[in-house]
Amino acid sequence: MIRYDFHMHCSFSGDSVTPPEEQIEEAIRLGAEGICFTDHMDYSYPMAKESGTDFEFDVDDYYRRMSELRDRYRGRLEILIGIEYGLRNEPDLIGEMQEKYGRLNDEYDLDFTIGSTHCLEYTDPFYAVPYWVGRTPDEGLETYFRAVAENAKNYDCYDSSGHYDYAVRYVPASDAWKGPACYDPVKYMDITDEFLKTLIHKGKALECNTAGIKYGLGTTHPHELVLKRYLELGGELLTIGSDGHKPEHIFYDFKTTEDYLKNIGFKYYTIYRRHKPEFIRL
């Protein structure tokens, strides 16, 4: 059984209202050994008006609260403290982001950080307008994958690269795109190879994120073929997270995911304490 969920959110994230205690109590109820909170920090989030949040939080307050919870629940559940960093590839933002996220890593004794690509071209592909306007699903996805590959290369502040192909969720339905079943990862494998080789070369982990199953994509992020390719290329560090924003979504489908990963050929998954990877047998 996978007893650690290494990607989840609580009310420190702009898109969650769940108090951290509720995630913790649910994890205990599920028989978990540990969880890592990875609340959203997306500096310069471009769609603040549309979303009603800027996806930033007070890290002092967060770190203090999480440390208290870690101490209070010691012996019942291991609580690890992480952040999900929103990485950006717009040339005029890279330096600023590297500096800001680097500073958070220096100032706080975090266990784990995820580097995710939520935004590109000063917008968020979650919103159909403007990102998907005037481009085919293929073009939109290819541009997104290139941004993820560039971010993997340009940043060092992250331990694991989050939800690789998550933009698939947001491709607007059309004649050319009837739904997530239209997604063929083989089409983008050149970019994906470059991305995976960067992770392996830099000693960074790939995340297996089960929210894809929750969103009805029929696959994790990334797709099974990407996970297979990672193994073929020699990738070893794999973190597993539900990306749950509420209690019913933490450890989402982890039982199925365990068998699925074993079938692909993974023997271990990875957890992090103070940014140090530790392998746990699947």
Residues that bind Zn ion (CB under 5 A): 84, 116, 243
**Closer to Zn ion by Cβ: residue 6 or 266:** 6
**Closer to Zn ion by Cβ: residue 72 or 144:** 144
**Closer to Zn ion by Cβ: residue 22 or 231:** 22
**Closer to Zn ion by Cβ: residue 150 or 243:** 243
The nearest distance, CB 258 to Zn ion, in angstroms, is 21
Return the bridge partners of 21, or none.
none
Q: Which residue's beta carbon is nearest to the bound Zn ion?
A: 116
Listed residue (196, 253, 244, 251) closest to 222, CA to CA: 196
* Residue 272, C-beta contacts closer than 8 angstroms, at least 6 positions apart: 6, 36, 80, 82, 111, 112, 159, 160, 205, 239, 278
Alpha-carbon gap, residue 107 to 282, rounded angstroms: 33
The nearest distance, CB 84 to Zn ion, in angstroms, is 5
The nearest distance, CB 188 to Zn ion, in angstroms, is 19
The nearest distance, CB 75 to Zn ion, in angstroms, is 28
CA angle 24, 26, 30 (to 5 degrees): 115
The nearest distance, CB 32 to Zn ion, in angstroms, is 18
Give the position of tokens 């992480």: 82
**Closer to Zn ion by Cβ: residue 3 or 169:** 169
Alpha-carbon gap, residue 274 to 167, rounded angstroms: 30
The nearest distance, CB 118 to Zn ion, in angstroms, is 6
**Closer to Zn ion by Cβ: residue 125 or 140:** 125
CB atoms within 10 A of CB 30: 15
* Residue 266, C-beta contacts closer than 8 angstroms, at least 6 positions apart: 227, 231, 238, 282
Q: Which two tokens stand for residue 217?
A: 């994509």
The nearest distance, CB 175 to Zn ion, in angstroms, is 29
Give the type of residue at 179: G
**Closer to Zn ion by Cβ: residue 26 or 84:** 84
Residue 7 DSSP SS3: strand
